[in-house]
Amino acid sequence: MNPHDLLWGLRPEHLAANAPDWAQQVLLAGQPVVVRRALVAAGRVAVGVRGAQRSQRWAAELPVACVQRRCRPEQLRVAGEAKLPALQALQAVAPLLEATGLGWGPTGGVGYQLATGVAVLHGDSDLDLVVRTHARWSRSRAQALFQALAALSCRVDLQLETPQGAVALGDWAGTARRVLLKRHEGACLVEDPWACAEVPA
């Protein structure tokens, strides 16, 4: 299981006793949860429950044995009828990302809506994307992609997934020597997100 994958199978009884009612209702409705970055015991996966409001997010753990279905971002590249800016942006960016030859796909609200049919997007929704980059990207390559995305019809937040974690495209396209790398163990500052040698703060 990778971060941003959507999983079905979490049940209300898997939630902590203090879980909010809305989280239980989401699971009772048969909606998926999203894989998040965190260290958990063997045989379990860290997930997050997504509610109708942006503030409604709840961390949980899903026993791997209970996973009924998995949907990866790479399976959600087709936007269908794209009336909203975020979906229009997905259609526009698809040829550009396909040309990289890398695995990629939408995450966040766009990925959730495409996977479930639940209307969570609105006119101001961002387009969240992940690109699987097993080999190091140069900063100049990141800058070129960042500039191309800036011309789209909505804000795009793209994460470069490396073997060590994930770095924001905007950070790697910037000028700072150190960038924030998100890992299961927690975030850290690194000079090379593909090498993952932590830099003392």
Q: Which residues carry out catalysis?
A: 126, 128
Dmax (CA) for the chain in angstroms is: 49
Q: From CA 110, how far away is CA 137, in angstroms rounded?
A: 25
Tell me if 200 sits within 8 A of 194, measured CB to CB: no
Q: From CA 45, how far away is CA 34, in angstroms rounded?
A: 10
Residue type, 162: T
Q: Between vectors from CA 111 to CA 107 and to CA 113, what angle results, nearest 5°?
A: 145
103 φ, ψ (degrees, to nearest 5): -70, 135
